[in-house]
């Protein structure tokens, strides 16, 4: 078999993307009309009047729309994508605000003009009269419930969910905490950040009036679902709608939400006007009109024994959900379930309230609730270690699920609606590797040496388990054409992960063809119509396995046809370098290209090769139809992968930080990652995913936050004040891989996309706490905040 699976094959998309040959949304439709939006300047207000009179004479203006102009189905509230019984008060926005705006940035008026300059000029001339209401900003205000985001949602509580796994003897978690030899209670907090892809959202739509079909390009993580949503909203037959995700400059979760208001309105305007229309989101719009994540306040009650084993854990979470809940309560569900990490917990109760605030809505951002859950559990582990005077790794090891205990049922329901059962893992070995990589046991000597130079060092650790590869399914289609090329397509989308490379590696390995012959198309509904999307570290697991299964079908068919032609038994055949041959008999062979020709019986020849498949050429006997019963013409196969439940990757990170005794600067000196995502398809790409994830994690730990004032104004809505880290802020990342295959899928793989980001805040908090001897219970932390903490009176 061609050795490609598992090899660090260079990313095939990079030469194109790195030399400016990428085709992103705003590279398309250069002649299209431009859309721009009047957005609410208020966090909470009633719309009294919209006055267009100053705007309508601007040269180049084509159309202006308010909610009143939208037909019923177009103007209906956006869908609540993932309903859940606990989401008793789910609320979504209208495509354009109707009567009330609930966050700064909510779209109120759509303008279509000759170009974006004119469109923005018109926006600035439209006068909207607002009746300003008291906004609800932040978790404490939302929980107080004195003012409401939605008049019909009492207490601002959109959802409330309790999950409990009692102790083996039936005692409740609260009782288990109560009965434990040691007990601690404390609060933790995480602030908002956001996906913040370098390319914002964007939509470009073309209506073909001649054949009444709509083509939409969207910078999305799910083209198939955008397609279905638009067909339904516009009442168009599904086959008349095509949606294509072109090159997408990052998604990180925000682009899985759909359809966005602009995703509905731009195609609708294109249909109405009979003109191409495009909207490319600018950075300020992205800050105030897309989605954020992360903000939670957590209360932890934990009971443990002398070895630090957790006997009872009781966590209450207040989750800031922003103004709307289009993506349901996936984020707090993931926090609640993935909080458990690699640990066997005696008894566990978790309760969350999802609270509305007059801020940008909260939907998944890489990690999707896990960073908050891991922060909670890992801070808890560190508190237990401090309380007992034990090494922090000793306490973790005492709680690990052991390699012999898989499959391990945590007793909860995960985000895919299925039981939280870990399929495989080896946590003690991960910890051993990590301690070796970072030099955990040698650190006290290093710290002492630094202290003699007046420097302050600390070491921190964080462990996590990540449910990846959630269903329901993905599919793959593989076609070998008569030129010997292999065309692979899958419906899910790409945002730079390297799918063109890894899916080709899988196909080349399965089919026994050179990598160069394989091409991969993703996210284009013209090529593959059935898909879910790219999120939750699922693309490799879902489409990777589907493509492998489709390849196996193709290979089987190729062997059948080749066996016929070579008069051999299919079981004696092998495929290598694109040639089918009889094992051990090098002379008896037939290229896959020829097999593809034979697979498609022809009446008409168009070249010498295809002439071999026409009706007067030598071929099948006269007693069989040209296409056998149960066969289809062509050498192609389609298959789907639909897992019984998610597969659980895991990892552990450690960092050494230095805090400046004078300036309170925080520097990461070393960052080590041990990562287990089962079988590696391409170790280089996995490392790249980890590097990017850690970089985003460092952003969330030390730099990024969404600073809202009491009026609900986002004060740092630009890259000047929202401190996304540069390469200069990211430490060298040292990685080691462990490969514990998943028993759940044919390739034995687990997802890797979100891994890097998940434990970083926990790790950095742990290290700062170690360096400073000050409890760190909120992240992110800035030098100014560390300075304040140093001067704050010691608690108690």
d(CA 691, CA 735): 9
642 binds another protein (CB under 8 A): no
715 binds another protein (CB under 8 A): yes
Identify which range of 152-160, 301-309, 441-449, 721-729 contacts another protein by CB under 8 A: 721-729
Q: Which is nearer to another protein, 128 or 395 (CB)?
A: 128
Among 432, 610, 716, 731, binds another protein (CB under 8 A): 716
Task: Write down the least CB distance from residue 321 to another protein, Å.
Answer: 23
Task: Write down the least CB distance from residue 108 to another protein, Å.
Answer: 17
198 binds another protein (CB under 8 A): no
* Alpha carbon separation from 567 to 560, 594, 738, 747 (Å, rounded): 10, 15, 45, 32
667 binds another protein (CB under 8 A): no
Q: Which is nearer to another protein, 53 or 784 (CB)?
A: 784
53 binds another protein (CB under 8 A): no
721 binds another protein (CB under 8 A): yes
783 binds another protein (CB under 8 A): yes
Spatial neighbors of 383 by CB under 8 A, at least 6 apart, are 184, 186, 302
Among 642, 718, 732, 773, binds another protein (CB under 8 A): 718
Among 417, 663, 732, 773, binds another protein (CB under 8 A): 663
Through-space distance between the first and last CA atoms of the chain, rounded to whole angstroms: 66
Task: Write down the least CB distance from residue 662 to another protein, Å.
Answer: 5
Spatial neighbors of 318 by CB under 8 A, at least 6 apart, are 139, 142, 143, 296, 297, 298, 352, 353, 355
54 binds another protein (CB under 8 A): no
782 binds another protein (CB under 8 A): yes
606 binds another protein (CB under 8 A): no
Q: Is 432 exposed, middle or buried (0-12, 13-18, 19+ CB in 10 A)?
A: middle
Tokens at residue 408, please? 């391990």
Q: Which is nearer to another protein, 121 or 658 (CB)?
A: 121
d(CA 571, CA 425): 36
Among 272, 723, 775, 789, binds another protein (CB under 8 A): 723
Q: Which helix (H) or strand (E) holds 580?
A: strand 579-582
Q: What is the DSSP letter of 26?
A: G
* Alpha carbon separation from 314 to 299, 352, 761 (Å, rounded): 8, 11, 21
Identify which range of 241-249, 484-492, 537-545, 720-728 contacts another protein by CB under 8 A: 720-728
Among 49, 211, 629, 662, binds another protein (CB under 8 A): 662
**Angle subtended at Cα 515 by Cα 510 and Cα 518, rounded to the nearest 5 degrees:** 80
Q: Which is nearer to another protein, 116 or 379 (CB)?
A: 116
* Alpha carbon separation from 353 to 331, 356, 532 (Å, rounded): 12, 10, 28
Task: Write down the least CB distance from residue 120 to another protein, Å.
Answer: 5
Residues in contact with another protein, shown as a per-residue x/- string from 227 to 266 under the rule CB under 8 A: ----------------------------------------
Among residue numbers 260 through 289, which ones bind another protein (CB under 8 A)? Answer: 282-284
The number of helices, as runs of H, and strands, as runs of E, in the chain is 21, 29
Task: Write down the least CB distance from residue 122 to another protein, Å.
Answer: 11
Distance of CA 692 to the CA centre of its chain: 13
Identify which range of 369-377, 462-470, 605-613, 712-720 contacts another protein by CB under 8 A: 712-720
* Alpha carbon separation from 232 to 257, 328, 490, 610, 663 (Å, rounded): 17, 20, 23, 43, 58
Task: Write down the least CB distance from residue 703 to another protein, Å.
Answer: 7
Q: Which is nearer to another protein, 115 or 734 (CB)?
A: 115
Tokens at residue 702, please? 């030390």
Task: Write down the least CB distance from residue 196 to another protein, Å.
Answer: 14
Tokens at residue 607, please? 């070249």
Residue 119: name the closest of 272, 266, 286, 259 by CA. 266
Three-class SS state of 429 = helix
732 binds another protein (CB under 8 A): no
192 binds another protein (CB under 8 A): no
707 binds another protein (CB under 8 A): yes
Task: Write down the least CB distance from residue 191 to another protein, Å.
Answer: 12
788 binds another protein (CB under 8 A): yes
Q: What is the DSSP letter of 154?
A: G
- Concatenated DSSP letters for 557-572? HHHHHHHHHHTS-GGG
Task: Write down the least CB distance from residue 35 to another protein, Å.
Answer: 13
Q: Is 732 exposed, middle or buried (0-12, 13-18, 19+ CB in 10 A)?
A: exposed
CB 509 within 8 A of CB 2: yes
Among residue numbers 73 through 132, which ones bind another protein (CB under 8 A)? Answer: 116-117, 120-121, 124
784 binds another protein (CB under 8 A): yes
664 binds another protein (CB under 8 A): yes
Task: Write down the least CB distance from residue 577 to another protein, Å.
Answer: 47
Q: Which residues bind another protein (CB under 8 A)?
A: 116-117, 120-121, 124, 282-284, 662-665, 703, 707, 715-716, 718, 720-721, 723, 725-726, 728-729, 782-784, 787-788
């Amino acid at each position: 078999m061609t050795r490609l699976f598992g090899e660090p094959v260079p990313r095939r998309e990079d030469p194109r993307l790195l030399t400016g040959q990428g085709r992103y949304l705003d590279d398309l439709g250069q002649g299209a009309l431009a859309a721009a939006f009047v957005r609410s300047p208020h966090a909470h207000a009633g719309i009294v009047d919209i006055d267009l009179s100053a705007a309508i004479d601007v040269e180049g203006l084509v159309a202006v729309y308010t909610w009143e102009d939208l037909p019923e189905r177009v103007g209906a509230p956006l869908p609540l994508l993932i309903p859940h019984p606990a989401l008793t008060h789910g609320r979504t926005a209208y495509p354009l605000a109707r009567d009330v705006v609930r966050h700064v940035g909510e779209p109120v008026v759509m303008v279509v003009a000759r170009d974006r300059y004119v469109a923005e000029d018109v926006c600035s001339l439209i006068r909207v009269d607002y009746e300003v209401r008291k906004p609800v900003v932040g978790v404490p205000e939302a929980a107080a419930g004195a003012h409401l985001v939605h008049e019909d949602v009492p207490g601002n509580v959109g959802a409330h969910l309790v999950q409990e796994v009692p102790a083996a003897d039936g005692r409740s978690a609260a009782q288990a905490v109560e009965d434990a030899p040691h007990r601690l209670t404390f609060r933790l907090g995480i602030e908002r950040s956001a996906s913040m892809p370098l390319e914002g959202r964007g939509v470009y739509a073309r209506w073909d009036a001649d054949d009444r079909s709509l083509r939409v390009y969207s910078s999305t993580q799910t083209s198939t679902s955008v397609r279905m949503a638009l067909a339904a909203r516009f009442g168009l037959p599904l086959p008349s709608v095509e949606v294509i995700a072109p090159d997408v400059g990052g998604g990180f979760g925000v682009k899985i939400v759909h359809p966005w208001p602009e995703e509905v309105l731009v195609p609708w305007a294109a249909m109405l006007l009979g003109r191409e229309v495009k909207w490319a989101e600018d950075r300020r719009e992205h800050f105030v009109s897309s989605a954020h994540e992360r903000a939670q306040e957590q209360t932890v009650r934990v009971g443990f024994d002398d070895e630090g084993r957790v006997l009872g854990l009781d966590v209450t979470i207040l989750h800031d959900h922003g103004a709307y809940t289009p993506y349901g309560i996936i984020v707090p569900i993931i926090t609640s379930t993935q909080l458990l990490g690699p640990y066997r917990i005696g008894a566990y109760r978790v309760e969350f309230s999802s609270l509305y605030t007059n801020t940008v809505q909260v939907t998944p951002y890489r990690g999707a609730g896990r960073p908050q859950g891991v922060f909670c559990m890992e801070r808890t582990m560190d508190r237990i270690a401090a309380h007992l005077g034990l090494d922090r790794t000793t306490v973790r090891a005492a709680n690990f699920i052991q390699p012999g205990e898989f499959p391990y049922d945590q007793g909860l329901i995960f985000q895919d609606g299925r039981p939280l059962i870990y399929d495989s893992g080896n946590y003690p070995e991960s910890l051993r590797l990590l301690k070796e990589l970072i030099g955990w046991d040698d650190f006290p000597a290093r710290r002492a040496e630094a202290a003699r130079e007046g420097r302050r060092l600390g070491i921190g650790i964080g462990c996590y388990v990540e449910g990846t590869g959630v269903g329901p399914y993905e599919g793959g289609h593989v076609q070998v054409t008569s030129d010997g090329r292999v065309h692979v397509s899958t419906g899910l989308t790409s945002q730079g992960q390297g799918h063109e490379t890894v899916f080709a590696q899988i196909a080349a390995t399965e089919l026994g063809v050179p990598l160069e012959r394989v091409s991969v198309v993703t996210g284009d509904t013209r090529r593959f119509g059935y898909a879910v999307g790219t999120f939750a570290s699922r693309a490799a697991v879902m489409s990777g396995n589907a493509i492998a299964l489709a390849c196996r079908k193709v290979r089987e068919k190729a062997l059948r046809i080749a066996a016929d032609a070579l008069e051999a038994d299919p079981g004696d055949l092998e495929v290598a370098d694109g040639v089918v041959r009889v094992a051990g008999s090098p002379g008896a062979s037939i290229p896959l290209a020829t097999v593809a020709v034979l697979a498609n019986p022809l009446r008409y020849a168009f070249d010498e090769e295809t002439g071999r498949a026409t009706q007067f050429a030598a071929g099948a006997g006269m007693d069989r139809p040209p296409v056998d019963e149960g066969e289809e013409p062509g050498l192609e196969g389609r298959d789907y992968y639909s897992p019984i439940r998610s597969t659980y990757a895991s990892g552990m990170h450690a960092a050494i930080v230095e805090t400046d005794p004078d300036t309170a600067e925080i520097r990461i000196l070393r960052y080590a990652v041990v990562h287990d995502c089962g079988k590696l398809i391409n170790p280089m790409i996995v490392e790249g995913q980890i590097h990017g994830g850690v970089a985003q994690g460092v952003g969330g730990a030390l730099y990024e936050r969404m600073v809202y004032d009491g009026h609900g104004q986002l004060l740092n809505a630009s890259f000047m004040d929202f401190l996304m880290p540069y390469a200069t802020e990211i430490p060298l990342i040292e990685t080691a891989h462990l490969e514990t295959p998943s028993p759940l899928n044919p390739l034995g793989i687990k997802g890797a996309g979100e891994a890097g980001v998940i434990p970083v805040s926990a790790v950095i908090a742990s290290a700062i706490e170690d360096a400073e001897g000050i409890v760190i219970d909120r992240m992110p932390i800035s030098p100014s905040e560390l300075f304040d903490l140093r001067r704050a009176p010691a608690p108690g």
